[in-house]
Amino acid sequence: MNQQGCNRRTEMQCDFVVKMLLSLIFSIKPCYAALTVITENSVTAYRGFNVLLDCHFTNEEEIKLDRLQVAWYLEKTKVARFDDIVSCYRTGAKLFMDELAKGNVSLYLSNVQDADQGVYTCRVLHSPEIAEGTVTLTLKDAPIREAPRQPISPEGGKNTGHQIIPETLIFWTALTITFLLHMAVRHPL
C-alpha cells in the first residue's frame, strides 16, 4: 500500500473513533443530581403563631407520587413524612398532599413553641435520587399591643352619663392587630 492510501485509511479510522467517542459522550447521563431541594436558610416566627417552612424540589423527570418519599426532621426527631400517605408525628404538623406532585413539600406547624426551635431537615427521595435541604426555625415573643379602651356613648356621641366599652370592638381590634402582625412576619418590608 502506498503512503497516500495509508494516510487516507488512518484519517477514516480517526474520524470513526472521534464519532464514536462523541456519540458515547453525549449518550451518557450527566453525573450531577437531577433532584434538587430548595429551602429557606432560616425562618423567624412568633411563639404561639403558625409557621410554614418552605421546601420545594425540582426534578428533570415528571414527579410520580409512587416514587416519592418525603421526611421532615427536627434535629433527629421525625416530624412528618410522606410515603404513599402523609403521617405527622407532631400535633399541628401538616404536609399538603395536593401540592406534593407539584414539588411543594413545605411543612406547616401550628402554635409553635420553644420546643419547635432548631434545624429542620427536609429529605426528598424521588427514586432513585435523594436530596435534602435544611431550614433553621427561631422564635421570638410577639409584641404586646393593647386595643384602645375609649368609652363609647350608646347615644351616638352624646354624653348621657352611660358609657360602655363594647367587647366586640375590643375583640375585632385585637384580631386586626394580630392579623397585621402575622402578615408582617410572613411578608416583611
User: Mean pLDDT, 10 residues at a time, over the chain (189 residues)?
Assistant: 56 56 44 78 95 92 89 96 94 94 95 96 92 96 72 51 45 52 54
**Which residue in 140, 109, 139 sits closest to 122, CA to CA?**
109
- Could you tell me the strand order of the sheet in which 107-109 lies? 51-53, 107-109, 93-95
The predicted pLDDT at position 174 comes to: 52
CA distance 15 to 135: 52
Residue 24 has a pLDDT of 42
Element (H, E) at 173: helix 167-186
- State the Cα–Cα distance between residues 74 and 138, nearest whole angstrom: 12
- Per-residue model confidence (pLDDT) at position 47: 94
Contact 123, 39 (CB under 8 A): no
Measure Cα distances from 23 to 14, 30, 156 in Å. Answer: 14, 14, 86
Instruction: With residue 7 as reference, give the H or E element that holds it.
Output: helix 3-27
pLDDT of residue 144: 80
